Amino acid sequence: MSRDVTIEPLAEDALLLRFGDGIEVSINQRVHAAARALWSGDLPGILDIAPAYATLLVRFDPAEWIDAAGAHPFKRVAAALRAILDSGRRRDDRQKNAVPAREAGRTIEVPVCYGGEYGPDLAAIAGHAGLAPDEIVARHTGPDYTVAMIGFAPGFPYLLGLDPALAIPRRAEPRTRVPAGSVAIGGAQTGIYPRELPGGWQLIGRTPLVLFDPRREPPCLLAPGDDVRFHAIGDDEFARLVEHPRGD
């Protein structure tokens, strides 16, 4: 697993593992497989492991890794991380599977009220794609998505799996206020605004689920590696779920 992984210092207490470039499902699967392997390695002083599309941030306590000479522990930590990744690669090679199979994670059902006041850009997306609005909804609810990473704001999931026909550039003029729960498309990605925020993605619908609540443990409803399935609901169901939200 570590043959083509670069490890570089990012801060006094952080290293960045780089698995490739761009947004690719296969690269992101390797990132998540590495995150699971490193957490399972139970190394001392590891404070956080944060996956992104093609990179993995590892934060550590330097005091746990300083050697007798007092040298900065970057090399020691990097060597320990690479040893775990190499161990996983050898196991995968024995299984004749160069890319570790992704472990079954959680599957989260996300209800969405599409179009109208909840998805004011649905018509623009339909026009851009040359499809009817109902076909846009059908294509958006068709795939299973994977949470590639959480970023931009606490709880904001970047989801892999969007039908390429639905890809659309971001708005030329971002909105100053996007309602919480807005389901949106930006380029080849889809995501969900966890709270009211400014943003330039095209709004296709809205979910009544609460994606981020600092009083909840964990505060984020979705986590990297989770699967997401969207399904369409009507106005009445949306109102009912707002009154009785899930994931509190």
> pTM here?
0.82
57 SS3 class? strand
61 SS3 class? coil
- Choosing among 1.10.3210.10, 2.40.100.10, 3.30.390.50, 3.40.47.10, the CATH entry for 107-243 is 2.40.100.10
Q: What is the pLDDT along the chain (248 residues), one digit of tens a residue?
A: 455 899 999 999 999 999 998 888 889 999 999 999 999 988 999 999 999 999 999 999 998 887 766 667 888 999 999 999 988 654 554 444 444 444 446 899 999 999 999 999 999 999 999 999 999 999 999 999 999 999 889 999 999 999 999 999 999 999 999 999 999 999 999 999 999 999 999 999 999 999 999 999 889 999 999 999 999 999 999 999 987 766 44
DSSP 165: G
CA distances from 168 to 67, 122, 143, 152, 165 (A): 52, 11, 17, 19, 9
Encode pLDDT of 203-217 as tens digits: 999 999 999 999 998
Q: What is the CATH number of domain 6-94?
A: 3.30.1360.40
What pLDDT shows up at residue 93? 46
Query: Both tokens of residue 196?
Result: 């009211």
The DSSP H or E segment spanning 137 is helix 133-141
Contacts 24+ apart (CB under 8 A), 72-77: 72/12, 74/9, 74/15, 77/15, 77/43
Q: Tokens 């707002």 sit at which residue?
A: 242
- For the chain, helix (H) and strand (E) counts, in that order, are 5, 13
What pLDDT shows up at residue 101? 41
Query: Both tokens of residue 84?
Result: 């775990």
- For the chain, the domains span 6-94, 107-243
